[in-house]
Amino acid sequence: MARKLVVRRLFVYHGAEVSGLGLEVYDVTVGAPNPDLEIGRNLRGRRQILSSATEITDENVIEVLNKALAIHQLNRKEELFLKNYEKGLQPILFRTKVYNDHINNKIVVNIANQIVTFKTSEFAGEPIMYVTRGTGMRASDTSDKGKEDEESVPEKVARVNSMMLSEGKQSKDYRLAYDMFTCGVGYRLTIHDSGREETDYLDEAPFEIYIPKAENTFVVRRSDVTRRVLMGVTYVFLDDEEKQPEYTVYTPNVKYTISGVDSEMKIINREQHNFGQVTLTEYPCNPNYMGAFEPVVPLLDAYNLTLSNKLDGIEQFIQALMVFDGVDISREDFLELKDLGAIKLPATQGGNGGRKLYYLNEQLDQSQTQTVLDGMYKHILRIVGMPSQGDGNTSDSSNNGAMIIKNGWWDAEARMQETQSMWKEAETEFLKIVLKICADANELDGLRISDLEPKFWRQSYEDLLVKTQSFSTLRTSGMPAIQAFTFSHLSRDPESDAIVYDEYQQKLAEELDRLNGVADGLPLDEDDTVNPTSTDGVAAQAEVETSSGGGGNSGDGGGKWAICPVCGKRFQKREENQIYDSLSCSNRARRNNGLRFGR
């Protein structure tokens, strides 16, 4: 009979040794190791820190900070637990057994790392660019009308992307997304670039971006319906014997540096900046401030335990005990038995007299255990919203769209949309800070928050053919180039590519108009069989006709011959001002011109 599999709740002893794992777990107050891994039982997301103060002043900043730290310490313990869990420090490593404790496998299948890596790469693996909202035709500043060198809104948005590139925003976004999907919240600090010089062409941005550690950072909000941010706090532990924290507090108009703990806190530096906004931005992963794998921590623990028990069963089968039933054997004989690998029993009349030798090797049912593991893994993926790896059925005839839904990509995209909505709200506050700093540096004048928005590139399963066909269809229907690039996902930088595209179309239109004007005044030979189909062909044809001096036949419209700039065919004019060969060519040119000059 197969042994029943029993999954028990783990009991983790406080003070277990973790120094050899290369992971840091610090207590909030004293910095001592504290692997309190049972925190995973009560994870419900991070707590918002609220205050009834209307504003932060020199008189109440320490009081508000002390009250906020009481809640932050709870969040910090959970954030440290989640970060170390993602790195592989999981409860199974501190597993103890009552029986057969010499067979005690501790296997960590780090599905938490798999979840965080997938979510982070899917969300921020590609650069999060800024695109123009609408057509970008709004005048950025009415007072600047008439200036020939005034930048358009798309050009200013393209400059914003260039500034973000110079500050390495893509890698910083990735680190921020890692904190979001691990701890449930991440933070971005944006400050003036005080060391930047206007003549320094290598430093394009007048601001600097930093990603502080999530476990050492928090914001305090007003405890009313507005949830307005009163102050942002980040801190480091000083490199001294006491390891005391040093807090940097950002308020809308003042930056404080505070050292000490509890009643010994004091302001050691105060810097007035009058910026009008807290420059520390909070990025929650979802409304509950929960990490990506946080809801499935109990399932992950059970998965590790089940797999460890499975390996215990295999090892116990291999190391099975030998049973001597009715055989009296001495220690010396047993050691000789182990050395020789066999034993000889004396024959007796009528059999062996009931004496038997056998291994106690009852084995765990491995197939049932694997079924349990597979079921738990599917539940984990379904709960966190991750696509599955398929069932190995290579003969499935489902089309691409059906496979996307079947394998869970649709659910994964829905979860990304939730995080994307939370990101956009925080990114708006970040952009307000950036545009204020740029305005102080006399750059990007007139650019508004409503002119741009972040664009995410995640549809990696769409091939290039689909994207180019979508772009062509959108352009044919009359959509401006910048929007066609954005909606078709053909370009990762719609602003810059739309500018290049429109410039090319403008030059092409001017060249066609010039060649059409040349051809319009040339009397072509009616019997000439040359039929140019390109701008080069039009020029060559015009050159041939000019050199030959051929004249046109008289007829309707003065008998002049011309070359249609659309189809490239030679035709006889029916009217003096006729440009195109047919009505279809005329309509096609009108559509192209509308698309060419429309943004």
Q: For residue 416, is it within any domain? A: no
**Distance separating alpha carbons of residues 355 and 112, to the nearest angstrom:** 53
End-to-end CA distance of the chain: 75
Token output for 308: 């460890």
Q: Which pLDDT belongs to residue 401?
A: 53
Residue 72: which of 231, 233, 266, 267 has the closest Cα? 233
- Residue 532 domain-assigned? yes
The predicted structure's pLDDT at residue 481 = 85
Strand order across the 217-222 sheet: 49-51, 217-222, 229-237, 245-250, 254-259, 266-272
Give Cα separations from 294 to 13, 89, 344, 405 (angstroms).
22, 15, 60, 24
What Cα–Cα distance (Å) separates residue 62 from each residue in 95, 187, 270, 402? 43, 22, 13, 58
Hunting for tokens 């910083």 — which residue is that? 172
Angle, vertex CA 75, rays to CA 240 and CA 14, nearest 5: 75
In a domain, 572, yes or no: yes
| Domain coverage including residue 593 | 497-597
What are the DSSP calls for 339-398, one per residue? Answer: HHS---PPPBTTBSTT-EEEEE---B-HHHHHHHHHHHHHHHHHHHT------S-TT---
Identify whether 540 is part of a domain. yes
Please report the pLDDT score of residue 61 as a whole number: 95
Assign residue 408 a region: left if phi > 0, alpha if psi is -120 to 50, beta otherwise? left
Nearest Cα neighbor of 177 from 413, 380, 427 is 427
Please give the pLDDT value at position 550. 43
Q: Which residues, 6 or more positions from 302, have their beta carbon under 8 angstroms from its beta carbon?
A: 7, 376
Q: How far is CA 147 from the centre of its chain?
A: 40
Q: Where do we find the tokens 């600090």?
A: 189
Give the pLDDT confidence score for residue 112 in this predicted structure. Answer: 96
Domain-located, residue 338: no
Give pLDDT, residue 533. Answer: 41
Q: How many domains does the chain have?
A: 1
Averages of pLDDT over runs of 10 residues in the chain (599 residues) are 33 34 35 51 91 94 95 94 93 83 88 95 90 61 50 88 92 96 96 73 86 96 94 90 88 94 91 91 95 94 91 73 66 70 60 58 72 92 84 52 66 88 94 93 88 78 74 87 82 78 84 69 47 43 43 46 72 71 69 48
Structure-block tokens of residue 213: 């550690």
Q: Is the pTM of this model over 0.85?
A: no
Look at residue 15 in the predicted model and tell me its pLDDT: 33
Helix (H, G, I), strand (E, B) or coil at 252: coil
Look at residue 234 in the predicted model and tell me its pLDDT: 96
Q: Classify burial at 580, counting beta carbons within 10 Å of its beta carbon; exposed 0-12, middle 13-18, buried 19 or more.
A: buried
Establish if 323 belongs to a structural domain: no
Buried b (16+ CB within 10 A) or exposed e, 476-503: eeebbbbbbbbebbbbebbbbbbbebbe
330 within some domain = no
> Is 584 a member of any domain?
yes
* pLDDT reported for residue 501: 86
Rg (CA), the chain: 36
